[in-house]
Structure 1
Amino acid sequence: MSDPVLSGDPPIPLILRRSARAKRISLRISQLDGRVTLTLPKRLAEREALDFARSKEGWIRKHLDARGADLQVLPGVEVPVAGQMFKVARGQGRRVQIGADVIAVPGPEERVGVRLASHLKLVARDRLAAASDAYAAQLGLGYSRLTLRDTRSRWGSCTSDGALMFSWRLIMTPPEVLNYVAAHEVAHLAQMNHSPAFWAEVTRLYGDYDPPRRWLRTHGSGLHRYRF
């Protein structure tokens, strides 16, 4: 049976989840992908959950409008790279070319998003490796490896064996934000916690980290709207 839909313009798909621990209906809108999830007690009738969603329709639409629609990356769409907006255009030859305000991507239109994402991942790896190398040298410690993923819940991580992981979408953020995340994860090589000693290490490596942290809290989830 398919998940229900809140009728209207546009219709809003609803995801229903039952939980033995839930005492009442709860409603959550993901800022990453705009999914609307209703969690309800195990024995509650589905009709009551749908009535609850209808009673909150104005609130749901307000939050979805504030989030904005997902953007499929195609020629004509603007995407952020290093904090600057670039218009995607069809390119010639074999290589992606980043100009002053245009990114030219060769190949068929339906492959533009995939090819651009591949290119941005390479650029992200270069810049994150350079930043991580510099901060690790400053710290006097080395990391074991660096990997990139398209993570939803975190921008980076550091394991106990010194492996660094970063979201490749950091290449879309301003350079100071990318550098802050690199410094944050490298600082974990010395402090595998979020103690005052850890934050002192981040400050020593990066400086005042409040501005980039605020940027990520305010704008970070919006980077997942871009569908490559």
Structure 2
Amino acid sequence: MSGVRNGAESADGRETVLSGECVAYSVRESARASRPRIDVRPAGVTVVVPETDRSRVDPDAVLAGHAEWVLEKRAAMAARRERAPDRAYGPGATWPVLGAEREIVVERRRSSTVDRDADLIRLARSHVDRTAHKRALEYCFRETARAEFERRVDALAPEMGVADAVGGVEVRNQRTRWGSCSSNGTLSLNWRLLLAPPAVLRYVVVHELAHLRKRDHSDAFWRIVAAHDTEWERHRDWLREHADELIFDESDL
């Protein structure tokens, strides 16, 4: 991914020109890399080179060899950043949690929680003091997501005839996936689904539970999904169109 603005300076001041565009970049050595690669992320463009080949790799040549790809990724990242909401993590900020905008408050309490009745995100002052608003908020979201996922799975798995096949529920931090189902029946779900409408979150749970009956994406699989979510196509399309609205911070892009 990318997000470097034209003419911006990279960490080590390197720049090159690709198809007439000035691209700032940095170079990072990696003991794990077996060949040069390019990382294009919100923080910038990085040419990653194997430690053993550092003196033999020309970063400008690596970038020139993938110029079109780099520029496409930069443009895509710029568009994503335009769509992504500005995020704040302290008192008074609001977040879309389980279908409603909820305001952050910091209180003296034993634990942080999402108060659905009052439309509040109640952060424990002790947790905020030990870490920071952002860390406390993420922990609250993860724990709330865990409870919501487990509740949904407990309700849907028997309905879909897969209760005995569920191997557990894990809350994950995937950057590119909303959910997955392992061979042992463990469902891994992205905690950022907490920021999506409840019907969309439910669709992802239905989707992964359906994989306990059909491991592929055949017509038979989608018939199972449709039997338990008649609007699954609309929910799938919502995720595709609004994924950038579900970011927690810039590292999600």
Structure-2-length-normalised TM-score: 0.67
Counterpart position of 2:60 = 46
CA offsets per residue over residues 125-147 of structure 1, 9 Å max, x none?
22212222222212222311111
- Output the amino acid matched with 2:179: G
Residue 193 of structure 2 corresponds to residue 179 of structure 1: no
Q: How does 1:12-51 map to 2 (within 5 A)?
A: 14=25, 30=41, 34-37=42-45, 44-46=58-60, 49=63
Note if contact 1:72-1:226 (Cα within 8 Å) is conserved in structure 2.
no
Cα distance, 1:60–1:122 mapped onto 2, change above 3 Å = closer
% identity of equivalent residues:
27
Q: How far off its partner does 1:219 sit?
A: 1.7
1:189 matches 2:212: yes
Shift of 1:116: 2.7
**Contact 1:15–1:35 at 8 Å: present in 2 too?**
no
Distance 2:188 2:77 in 1: 35
Counterpart contact for 1:158–1:189, Cα < 8 Å: yes
Letter of the 1:115 counterpart: A
1:130 aligns with 2:130: no
- Shift in alpha-carbon separation, 1:89–1:69, aligned structure 2, 3 A: same
Runs (5+) with no aligned partner, structure 2: 1-9, 16-22, 49-55
**Please, which of 104, 113, 118 is the counterpart of residue 100 of structure 1?**
118
Aligned length: 214
Aligned-residue RMSD, C-alpha: 3.9
Q: Tell me which residue corresponds to 1:9.
A: none
Matched residues in 2 for 1:154 and 1:61: separation?
A: 18
Indicate if the aligned counterparts of 1:70 and 1:227 stay in contact, CA closer than 8 A. Answer: no
Q: 1:77 aligned to 2:93? A: yes
Rounded Cα–Cα distance in structure 2 between residues aligned with 1:168 and 1:114: 14
1:104-135: CA deviations, max 9, x gaps?
31314553332332232222122212222222
Q: Secondary structure at the match of 1:75?
A: coil
Which one scores higher on RCO, CA 8 angstroms, separation ≥ 6? Answer: 1
Shift of 1:100: 3.1
Superposition map of 1:135-214 within 5 A: 135-142=156-163, 143-214=166-237
Under a length normalisation based on structure 1, what TM-score does the superposition of the two structures give?
0.73
